[in-house]
Chain A
Amino acid sequence: MIAEIGEIVAEKTYTLTRDSLVRYAGASGDFNPIHYRDDVAQSVGLPGVLAHGMLTMGFAIQPVADWIGDSGKILDYQVKFTRPVPVDAADGASVTVVAKVGALTDAEVRIDLTVTFSDQTVLGKAQALVSLA
């Protein structure tokens, strides 16, 4: 399964729509209206409805889970939220995840994620530690 440091192990683009945000709100219990109401988002100075940061964090790890075939082997996962993802009512938003081997020992592999929307990264220091046991 493991090759070498720097290798891209997975790459996937996700299309978010307003429906995705409503579904995530219900599943997670985060009903902050900036994630489904443009008027509320605009009243606090945002361009419009944004994706939940935790939704982006949530799907950004999925290419890694598919690559290892068992999400239970993910020991640690962290991100920094650096830029919001606005989700247009009609067009949605496309977010691309690239997962690369950042470090490797006999027991664990560190996967570094690059997550971009509109050619700009939206997560910083997005890293997952995966058990090879």
Chain B
Amino acid sequence: MNPELQGRVFAPTAPYLVGREKIREFARAVFATSPVNLDPEAARSAGYADVVAPPTFPVVIQESTLAQLLAEPDGGIDFTRVVHGNQRFSYTRPIVAGDELTATLAVTDIKTLGGHSMVTAESTIADATGAHVVTAISTLVVRGDE
């Protein structure tokens, strides 16, 4: 992996419009049973504009930023050797259906440990007004030559 990736900030992704049915599909896939994730009426009674995305939903948006990282011509990251090490989501507010979200990726840390490299990729996700919604932080482990 190219150590010069550290500190690199990528172009924001194209806006992602969060659909109600996408949230419900994702909620079912992670065994969510909470009415605020599935039922617009329940979400409205809890004070939300529409159904609330489960806590790990930003992974859907983060996916496109990680694709940017793996496609970086001078990145030197071999996708077949990548293992997910850590994941974190830090929220300012929950995602709800109707949000239009943009993610900006920054590589905040690169470490080499033994033969392996670890890259920390931080995707800052903002709404259409530019306000922060959630930051998704992934640490990827790139296994060295066996």
- Residues on A lying within 8 angstroms of B by beta carbon are 14, 20, 23-24, 26-30, 44, 53-55, 57-59, 61-62, 65-66, 69-72, 74-81, 128
Contact = CB atoms under 8 A, between A and B. Distances in A.
B63 A80 contact: no
Contacts of A80: 85-86
Nearest to B85: A81
Interface residues of B, number: 34
B55 A71 contact: yes
B98 to A, nearest CB: 14
Contacts of B90: 75-76
B34 interface: yes
A62 B87 contact: no
B94 A72 contact: yes
Closest 3 A/B residue pairs (Cβ):
A58-B30, A27-B29, A72-B94
Interface of B: 22, 25-26, 28-34, 36-37, 46, 48, 52, 54-56, 59-60, 63, 80, 83-91, 93-94, 137
A20 B28 CA distance: 10
A76 B135 CA distance: 10
Nearest to B29: A27
7 contacts: A27-B60, A29-B63, A58-B30, A70-B46, A71-B55, A72-B93, A78-B137
B94 A28 contact: no
Given A44-B80, A65-B34, A28 B91 contact: no
